[in-house]
């Protein structure tokens, strides 16, 4: 039996952009269950429709500052399994960090990336499948910010070994086998790495992504 189509809500005050995204998503097999032009309209739609995924502009009326991002945070708090894709015309790394650190079913794209239809649809599918996507421009901004105060300098030699294996995509169990230590010891090293690198505390493993990115950039 085929899975039900992913149900999506779109939120942006640009009506033409919303309609264009809606057409793209419908053609790709998604079901757009609602559109919103303001953050309150978005929250109302989400409560009513309970979509699988929300695509929201960070800046929305009336202030065009963080209304969309604030609504996305509220959605994540109330419905943690709802996927969220943030769209922005600008790189706003620090503002988006808290939400991105929640780790699962979340993404951030610059609006300029939406012109590549295949990549955009691929991003939507990735988030719908439970993974995270971060715009390369945002990644570079985050790395640059961390280089101004290099967190890797604080790591011990063993922690660097653990981080290097994390960068290879190994699980804690895989790292334990490679280094001939217990999985519990690996978990302690990972917690220490996150603390020393000042990465936000979360209940999942996806903040490992930022740690790995910083490690790869330092090589």
Inform me whether the pLDDT recorded for 149 exceeds 60.
Answer: no
Find the mean pLDDT for residues 7-17. Answer: 94
pLDDT of residue 145: 57
3-state DSSP call for residue 123? helix
pLDDT confidence bin for 170, thresholds 50/70/90: confident
pLDDT confidence bin for 219, thresholds 50/70/90: low
Higher pLDDT, 10 or 199: 10
* Selection from 39, 69, 51 nearest residue 9 by Cα: 51
Higher pLDDT, 136 or 10: 10
Query: What tokens appear for 54 in the block?
Result: 């929300």
Query: What tokens appear for 120 in the block?
Result: 């955009």
Continuous H helices in the chain: 15-27, 39-49, 67-78, 93-100, 117-128, 136-147, 157-167, 172-179, 183-196, 208-218
* Selection from 90, 77, 92, 30 nearest residue 55 by Cα: 30
Find the mean pLDDT for residues 60-89. Answer: 90
Inform me whether the pLDDT recorded for 205 exceeds 60.
Answer: no
Query: Is-contact 53 5, C-beta < 8 A?
Result: no
Find the mean pLDDT for residues 97-119. Answer: 79
Find the mean pLDDT for residues 130-145. Answer: 72
Domains of the chain in start order, with CATH, are 7-135 (3.40.50.2300), 149-218 (1.10.10.10)
Query: Is-contact 159 116, C-beta < 8 A?
Result: no
- For the chain, the average pLDDT equals 83
pLDDT of residue 1: 41
pLDDT confidence bin for 140, thresholds 50/70/90: low
Find the mean pLDDT for residues 45-72. Answer: 92
β-strand partners of 109 = 87
pLDDT of residue 99: 75
Find the mean pLDDT for residues 145-170. Answer: 76
Lowest mean pLDDT among 101-105, 185-189, 203-207: 203-207
Instruction: Read off φ and ψ for residue 59, nearest 5 degrees.
Output: -100, 120
Lowest mean pLDDT among 37-46, 56-65, 94-103: 94-103
């Amino acid at each position: 039996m085929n899975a039900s189509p992913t149900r999506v809500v779109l939120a942006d005050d640009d009506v033409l952009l919303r309609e264009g995204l809606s057409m793209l998503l419908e053609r790709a097999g998604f079901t757009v269950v609602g559109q919103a032009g303001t953050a309150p309209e978005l929250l109302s739609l989400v409560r009513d429709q309970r979509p699988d995924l929300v695509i929201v502009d960070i800046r929305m009326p009336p202030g065009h500052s963080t209304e969309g991002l604030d609504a996305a945070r509220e959605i994540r708090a109330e419905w943690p399994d709802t996927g969220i894709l943030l769209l922005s015309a600008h790189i706003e790394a620090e503002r988006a960090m808290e939400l991105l650190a929640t780790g699962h079913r979340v993404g951030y794209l610059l609006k300029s990336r939406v012109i590549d239809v295949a990549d955009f649809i691929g991003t939507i599918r990735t988030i719908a499948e439970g993974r995270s996507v971060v715009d390369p421009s945002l990644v570079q901004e985050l790395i640059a910010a961390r280089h101004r105060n290099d967190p890797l300098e604080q790591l011990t030699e063993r922690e660097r070994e653990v981080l290097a294996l994390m960068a290879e995509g190994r699980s804690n169990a895989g790292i334990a086998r490679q280094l001939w230590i217990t999985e519990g010891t690996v978990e302690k090293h990972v917690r220490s790495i996150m603390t020393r690198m000042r990465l936000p505390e979360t209940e999942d493993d996806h903040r490992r992504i930022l740690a790995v990115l910083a490690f790869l950039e330092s090589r």
